[in-house]
Amino acid sequence: MKKLSFLLLVAVLSLSTAVQAQTIFPAEFTAPAEFNTGTVHISVLSRSERQMTTNFLFEQGSRNSWHYHPNATQVLMVLDGEAYYQEEGKPKQLLRKGDVVTTAPNVRHWNGATPWSSAECMTVTEIVEGEEHAVQLRKVTDEEFASPVTSETMIVRIAEIEVYPEYLEEYLSYANEVDRLSVEREPGVICLFPMQSAEDSTQIRILEIYASDAAYQAHLKTAHFQKYKQGTLHMVKSLKLPTMHPLDPATMNLIFKKR
């Protein structure tokens, strides 16, 4: 029994250390599932008669519910990772480390981590005498959470690749596999679309669209991309990765809504 108790204590301490390793502030408690989706760690850093400062560590894919602060202004600061923020009636925003958002009193909104990154955020909220800190509304639906971010945050490029003819068939197998696995498994990979020139089959073009730079960096570290990268090094004669900028961002957003 003593051995079991010791092992349980070690497990709890290890979990606590793992959580704290992601934030400079101690994680005081986990937010209730009634008003949150996924795991959200909260620490109240300070509280006075006028304001409260709180640190949130949103684990990957987690978020709070729609809510508002009665007659109180809130300032949200992203300390690490990438976060979502949305106000009622407005498009969802992608926030990065260093971004600051001010929410006006009584504005319904929600925020949380992206599907591909955890997010650490600090909020400073006014305290209004006689008012609740926050009025909780309904949970954010999966459809709202998965709605496309604006194209301004996306990374778009067309990879220009020339393959040695003797490795062409093997290269195409690698390219098709990494395309399929990336789109299936990575929420931040919007599109990986390999194409082959009709005039010269060794000329490959891959349309790449990532939700953000963090999504792209996460993609580079995946096992399936590393398998593709290392497995095709000797097959590629030349490679160019020019980054592209959408000429019509508004229409680009509509493209992803059509299906």
Residue-wise pLDDT tens for the chain (259 aa)?
433 333 333 333 333 334 444 567 777 788 888 889 999 999 888 889 899 999 999 998 899 999 999 999 999 999 988 899 998 888 788 888 888 899 999 999 999 998 888 899 999 999 998 888 889 999 998 888 887 666 567 788 999 999 999 999 999 999 999 999 998 888 788 889 999 999 999 999 999 988 878 788 889 999 999 999 999 999 999 999 988 887 876 676 666 655 5
Looking at residue 148, what is its pLDDT?
67
- Extract the runs of DSSP E, i.e. beta strands, from 104-167: 109-113, 119-126, 135-136, 155-163
Structure tokens, 196:
């082959």
Half-sphere exposure of 228 (CA within 13 A, CB side): 19
Select from 54, 45, 67, 28 the least CA-distant residue to 125. Answer: 54
- Asked if residue 57 lies in contact with residue 22, where contact means CB atoms within 8 angstroms, the answer is yes
Residue 178 has a pLDDT of 94
What pLDDT is stored for residue 194 in this prediction?
92
pLDDT of residue 6: 33
* pLDDT recorded at residue 139: 92
Residue 15 — φ and ψ, nearest 5°? -65, -45
Contact between 81 and 119 (Cβ < 8 Å)? yes
Q: What angle do CA 5, 10, 61 make, to 5 degrees?
A: 120
The pLDDT, as a whole number, for residue 146 is 81
How far apart CA 133 and CA 88 sit, in angstroms, is 19
Pairwise CA distance, residues 41 & 171, whole Å: 44
